[in-house]
A and B are shown apart, each in its own frame.
Chain A
């Protein structure tokens, strides 16, 4: 167990608790946008793929990493776009009457 690993385990644990607390407060109205937003956030894995794709560490790595960049970027772009489209639809009676 290196000190780095321990720090990362603490970070994981704390982030998990924060996630549980924050997500528990999300109104059931917005559970679909919640899932599409967290899915887009998750696609931040793209940063790992970007570094690998640019490191020039051999053909296999570059190919795998480039496909990974494509997959994750489509989630970032599509996920944020869809979430915003959905949230724009939620209107209160006040905005609708205007």
Chain B
């Protein structure tokens, strides 16, 4: 009796230490100098928890576990080695995998226990499986959109929100029925299928630029479904890990939604696409000032303070390494170069920072919205690389604009603005950017990577006096 008791204690202790390590890992992640220690703590915690679990006395056969662990590791390594521009879709995919695990375990638990499932357990199981299923298909849809396998434009139809909510209501209704009558096992797969359908319907009307919010929200759901699984299995480790992930996703969703001046409901049900149609018809040709790479290089070289504003266009063109060359060329000339990064620039929270860090730009040079805005009035040149809506002054001035009230980078307050842009097509919100028509603004049309390379060439070419 006593030895077996000790084995259980070892497992429980391993879980306890793992939990502490998980909390520490998030704490250490708060700033770059300690962040890698955070990953180490997470690795240790994970090894302890998995190692401890393998000692669990309920396990009688290790074959399938071994196969699962090996296959999972083989699958995980390439997913950990994706290129940095593919991180958003990889993250969406991993939310899908996490949700898949939770849904499958939940289903197995249900079939082991039916017809006698205690009410509370059935409620937790339903939560687990509904959240897991909708996160699974929702994340797959998001990954497909980010990988451009699916159309990035929002797909909308009349009465969409009502239909979508009805589908969710049906899934919830079935859950209630199962809680009251867990012996109706036939309802269980139906609940899963309807939740899977809801996940698809939830993401279909959401477009590319809303992805940062949606990915964060899916992150939160994945966490909550894991916490629900913790309730079913009576595992405090899982409840805590799920709660940590859930709150992290929640905070990120709030930050993203706030950075777009939109509520959750607005992101989920607002469908920006409708604005796009009406705005496009109002288009007319207005005078612009364009510039050549040489002119831009001359302006940058003459500046003493430059702020670069990167956006999704930089990621698409994979221009981050060229931006680094530009940063070097300017820094060598004694120009003070900083980066102003909007929270929703790119396709997931923090994406621009990772890309610039990949190109070896020191992180002290990367500033978020609140930190850079006060400096923009004293900035000589702002260089915008593939960012649009987050620089549109209409957000401050035009109460009729769909982005009115959204916090933006006040680039129009700098002395000169240079915009690198593929074409005059409007940004995601489908609205014209007043910034482009200002006297102080110069447009440089072309692929971000090529244009930045040309500017660097002009700067290094020597026909500009240093």
Contacts and interface: CB of A to CB of B under 8 A. Distances in A.
A70 B72 contact: yes
Interface string B345-380: 000111101100110101111101000000000000
Interface stretch (B159-167, B220-228, B282-290, B306-314): B220-228
A39 B105 contact: no
A18 B23 contact: yes
Contacts of A15: 239-240, 243-244
Contacts of A85: 80-81
Counting from the closest, the 9 A-B pairs by CB-CB distance are A73-B72, A81-B80, A69-B68, A77-B76, A31-B350, A19-B247, A54-B59, A78-B79, A15-B243
Contact of B46 (A16, A30, A40): A40
A69 to B, nearest CB: 3
B235 interface: yes
B229 interface: yes
Contact of A5 (B46, B101, B120): B120
B338 interface: no
A55 B256 CA distance: 43
Contacts of B343: 28
Contact of B101 (A60, A71, A91, A93): A71
A67 to B, nearest CB: 6
A78 B80 contact: yes
30 contacts: A11-B240, A12-B230, A12-B240, A18-B244, A22-B23, A22-B26, A28-B341, A29-B366, A32-B354, A34-B350, A38-B248, A41-B46, A43-B98, A44-B46, A45-B102, A45-B238, A47-B52, A48-B233, A53-B68, A58-B112, A66-B67, A70-B72, A71-B104, A73-B72, A73-B76, A78-B78, A78-B90, A83-B42, A84-B36, A85-B80
Contact of A91 (B67, B255, B363): B363
Contacts of A34: 26, 29, 248, 252, 349-350
A52 B108 contact: yes
Contacts of B23: 18, 22
A69 B65 contact: yes
B280 interface: no
Nearest to B348: A32
Given A45-B105, A77-B80, A50 B251 contact: no
Interface size class of B (residues with CB under 8 A): 35 or more
A8 B223 CA distance: 16
Interface in B206-222: 215-216, 219, 222
Nearest to A5: B120
Contacts of B84: 86, 89
State the majority secondary structure of interface residues on B. Answer: helix
Contacts of A92: 32-33, 362-364
B89 interface: no
A26 B30 contact: yes
Contacts of A16: 243, 246-247
Contacts of A44: 18, 22, 46, 49, 226, 237-238, 241
State the majority secondary structure of interface residues on A. Answer: helix
B39 A80 contact: yes
Interface size class of A (residues with CB under 8 A): 35 or more
A52 B110 CA distance: 12
B32 A60 contact: no
Contacts of A37: 25-26, 29, 38-39, 42
B437 interface: no
B236 interface: yes
Contact of A32 (B87, B223, B245, B248): B87
B409 interface: no
B26 A72 contact: no
B264 to A, nearest CB: 16
A29 B365 CA distance: 11
A83 B39 contact: yes
A92 B35 CA distance: 13
A31 B252 contact: yes
B295 interface: no
B58 interface: yes
Contacts of A69: 64-65, 68-69, 72, 101
B27 A22 contact: yes
B126 to A, nearest CB: 16
Given A20-B247, A68-B100, A81 B77 contact: yes
B98 A80 contact: no
Interface string B185-202: 000000000000000000
A11 B223 contact: no
Given A31-B252, A42-B222, A42-B226, A90 B68 contact: no
